[in-house]
Amino acid sequence: MPQSKKRFLKGSLAGVRLFDGLDAEQRFALEQLCSWQQVDDRTEVLRHKDNTSDVVFLISGRARAIAYSAEGKQVAFREINSGEMFGELAAIDGGPRSASVMTVGPGVVATMAAAEFRKMIDREPIVRENLLRYLVEMVRGLSGRVFELSTLLVRPRTFTDLIRLAEKIPVIDGWACLDPAPIIEDIANRIGARREGVNRVISELIKDGILRRRGKALLIDLDALRRRLGEAAGE
């Protein structure tokens, strides 16, 4: 990993989606193949264009995938939550890293060497099935985002991005809590819009009570935002 990290006693892979369906004994065997680290806020776990090929599982915390334009502008395009993985593309095809990954707050990661990852896929049909579903989900998600960029205006694109973020976390009494709140510029980068336009949409949603700020967090009335998206899509 590009930045220093703290060693950590072996943890559990139970919360990682890739391993859904495995029993405790199978997970335990895989946990022995991982190196475990505690990471601080803003730790660069993977670096764009590096030739490393390890797969990283985010056990706790959050992270952000970042790519760079030809002019060197940093563009955040994917939010990574606990239970997800990253680095699997390089492990599969041996190519350079397609993005950097930076932590958002402290967390714990488990790293598996590419060779062990490929062996695991070969011998564990449940994991192989989960990986295929994950890759299909990724392709569908990217296809949907291309469609959104091609057909939707800034308002519904902003709504869709916020819904996508909110659907990845628990919803309590109809409200999803994004903590910390997403950065306006990151939303703009993901949806291909200007920061000022996204900021106007966020301000509108706060005024209408669909979004609420609570300290550094952003609360989202998910059902209300979905209704607003349906209205905006028909404009």
Structural contact between residues 197 and 184, judged by C-beta atoms closer than 8 angstroms: no
Q: For the whole model, what pTM was predicted?
A: 0.75
Q: Tell me how many domains the chain contains.
A: 2
- Please check whether residues 189 and 166 belong to one and the same domain: yes
Neighbours of 26 (CB within 10 A): 16
Domain limits for position 13: 6-140
| 132 plus 45 within the same structural domain | yes
Residue 147 maps to a domain: no
- Structure tokens, 157: 């694109």
pLDDT digits (tens, 9 = 90+) for 43-70: 999 998 899 999 999 999 999 898 877 7
- CB atoms closer than 10 angstroms to residue 87: 24
Task: Say if residue 158 is in the same domain as residue 130.
Answer: no
- For residue 234, the model assigns a pLDDT of 59
Rg (CA), the chain: 19
Residue 129 shares a structural domain with residue 193: no
Do residues 11 and 63 both lie within one domain?
yes
Q: Is 42 in the same domain as 102?
A: yes
Per-residue pLDDT tens over the stretch 127-179: 999 999 999 998 998 888 888 777 788 999 999 999 999 998 888 888 999 98
Domain presence at residue 22: yes
Whether residues 21 and 131 fall in one domain: yes
| Cross-strand partners of 111 | 35, 56
- Co-location of 163 and 201 in the same domain: yes
Q: Give the Cα separation of 193 and 65 in Å (integer).
A: 18
> What DSSP element (H or E) covers 64?
strand 55-68
Question: Does residue 84 share a domain with residue 26?
Answer: yes
Kindly report the average pLDDT of the chain as a whole number.
Answer: 90
**Peptide linkage before 96 cis (omega within 30 of 0):** no
Structure tokens at 13: 């892979």
CATH, residue 105:
2.60.120.10
Do 162 and 228 share a structural domain?
Answer: yes
- Per-residue pLDDT of 203-235, as tens digits, reads 999 999 999 999 999 999 999 999 999 988 655
